[in-house]
Amino acid sequence: MAMLEVNDLQVYYGVICALKGISFQVEQGQIVSLIGANGAGKTTMMQSIVSLIPKREGTVVFEGKDITKTPSHKIVRLGMTQVPEGRRIFQELTVYENLLMGAYTNKDQQSFKRDLEMIYERFPRLAERKNQIAGTLSGGEQQMLAMGRAIMCHPKLLMLDEPSMGLSPLLVDQVFEIIKDINKDGTTILLVEQNAGKSLAISDQAYVMENGKIVLSGTGAELASSEKVKKAYLGG
């Protein structure tokens, strides 16, 4: 049984159909990515899976439990969270307070301290700036903070929505390295990206989305070598 199963997910904005029946699976321990152009419905899909946007049809099953109608905050408690598109860190809080919010579901002081040290070790920039107001961080630092904040709640499945968006090439490489690291530590990853090349390179399994539908699927390597994907998404 897959860790996450999405079956025939349909989402509408008013009368406009944004997702026309999406089905895919995420196996435990893998990195799974969904690639696609702007407006393909990637963010809509990510947000509807965690109930931030209501679903019209379809089911979402996480570790055998139907979470189709489970409210977002309870989904987080089940072990699945998301780094949303645009990072959405709490601008008015400090770096430390943001990480504290990430650990909202964890009331154990001891493990909180350990997690905090681990995050500061992994992201030294955050340690340097722990008392700075988060809104004053650079884009790259904000992305690090958003990822750090998300792993503070020990997710079994971490969803990342466009983590490389708006970052310099150097930082993009760094973000993908961090994603690989988080995965190595045992966290399953569902990644949505426009940067198809880099995503496919680290993915065990990948899907291509177009106009609210999944049009192609395969292993990362298969899709990276597919003529169609090369032509449409890899600039070749």
89 is an interface residue for other proteins by CB under 8 A? yes
Among 23, 72, 194, 211, binds other proteins (CB under 8 A): 72
Select 130 or 213, whichever has its Cβ closest to other proteins.
130
Minimum distance from residue 173 beta carbon to other proteins (Å):
26
Among 13, 28, 91, 111, binds other proteins (CB under 8 A): 91
Residue with tokens 């309870």: 74
196 is an interface residue for other proteins by CB under 8 A? no
Contact 211, 42 (CB under 8 A): no
211 is an interface residue for other proteins by CB under 8 A? no
71 is an interface residue for other proteins by CB under 8 A? yes
Q: Which two tokens stand for residue 165?
A: 């968006």
Minimum distance from residue 21 beta carbon to other proteins (Å):
24
Q: CB within 8 A of 44, min separation 6: which ones?
A: 11, 18, 19, 53, 212
Tell me how far apart the alpha carbons of residues 2 and 24 are, in angstroms, rounded to a whole number. Answer: 10
Among 2, 17, 37, 52, binds other proteins (CB under 8 A): 52
Contact 178, 20 (CB under 8 A): no
Closest CA to 147 of 171, 128, 131: 171
Q: What are phi and psi of 54, to 5 degrees?
A: -70, 145
Among 48, 70, 82, 187, binds other proteins (CB under 8 A): 82
Minimum distance from residue 72 beta carbon to other proteins (Å):
4
Which range in 11-19, 60-68, 72-80, 117-125 contacts other proteins by CB under 8 A?
72-80
What does each C-alpha distance from 52 to 43, 137, 165, 192 come to in angstroms?
A: 11, 26, 21, 16
Select 69 or 88, whichever has its Cβ closest to other proteins.
88
105 is an interface residue for other proteins by CB under 8 A? yes
77 is an interface residue for other proteins by CB under 8 A? yes
Under DSSP, the state recorded for 66 is E
97 is an interface residue for other proteins by CB under 8 A? yes
